[in-house]
Amino acid sequence: MSLPPGRYLARFIGKDNPDSIGGMYATGKGLGQPIELDPNRPEFHGQQEWEFEPASEEGRDVYTINSRPGESWSYRSDSPVPGETIILDRPKPFRVQHSERSQGGHMFTIAPTQQLIGATLYVGAGEHQRELTLVPIPVVPDAPPAPLWELMRLEE
């Protein structure tokens, strides 16, 4: 199931809180700044809305994730590296795929299109961290699950 283009809230689903009420949402803090996880509260209005636009030249399920023109999910290096922070900057493409682990729902993994050998990098957050980072998941049997995102469509 591909994600329809549009505006979404992106709620992080940590391994310890898959069914928690409320949760933490990707929140833009300004150009060049790390994207952080914050509760969905009025003081963050407008900072938690993300436009998922297909990057058709990159292939299926590939999007740019934009806050406003010139402010998109990105990373500082030319090629992504484990632990690197996700920032608001010039757009970089991300693969957004429906999770096989989710029962119905709108659960997705988000990953850079450029990848390492031996591991897949996913957008997530470390335990007790608020900044979004690239989390490496080894490509081996019984690997830990990839970080998940619940993408909730906003009315136009």
- Please report whether residue 103 resides in a domain: yes
Cβ-contact 13, 24 below 8 angstroms: no
Kindly report the CA angle at 35 between 17 and 29, in degrees rounded to 5? 125
- Please report whether residue 1 resides in a domain: no
Does the pTM of the predicted model rise above 0.85? Answer: yes
Provide the CB-side half-sphere exposure for 20 (13 A, CA). 13
- Structure-token pair, residue 76: 């500082």
| Residue 81: how many other CB atoms lie within 10 Å | 14
Under the banding of pLDDT at 50, 70 and 90, the label for residue 101 is confident
- Please report whether residue 95 resides in a domain: yes
What is the number of structural domains in the chain?
Answer: 1
Q: Give the rounded percent of residues in the chain with a pLDDT score beyond 90.
A: 77
The contacts of residue 151 (CB under 8 Å, 6+ apart) are: 3, 8, 9, 10, 11, 52, 96, 106, 108
- Please report whether residue 139 resides in a domain: yes
- Please report whether residue 116 resides in a domain: yes
Cβ-contact 72, 90 below 8 angstroms: yes
pLDDT value for 106:
86
> Domain span at residue 33?
6-153
pLDDT value for 20:
54
The DSSP output letter for 29 is: -
Radius of gyration of the chain (CA): 14
Cβ-contact 38, 45 below 8 angstroms: no
Mean pLDDT is lowest, of 57-71, 80-94, 101-115, for 101-115
Q: Tell whether the model's pLDDT for residue 86 goes beyond 60.
A: yes
Give the CATH number for residue 144.
2.80.10.50
Q: Which class for 133: exposed (0-12), middle (13-18), buried (19 or more C-beta within 10 A)?
A: buried
- Rounded CA gap, 146 and 136, in Å? 9
Under the banding of pLDDT at 50, 70 and 90, the label for residue 16 is low
- Structure-token pair, residue 138: 């080894």
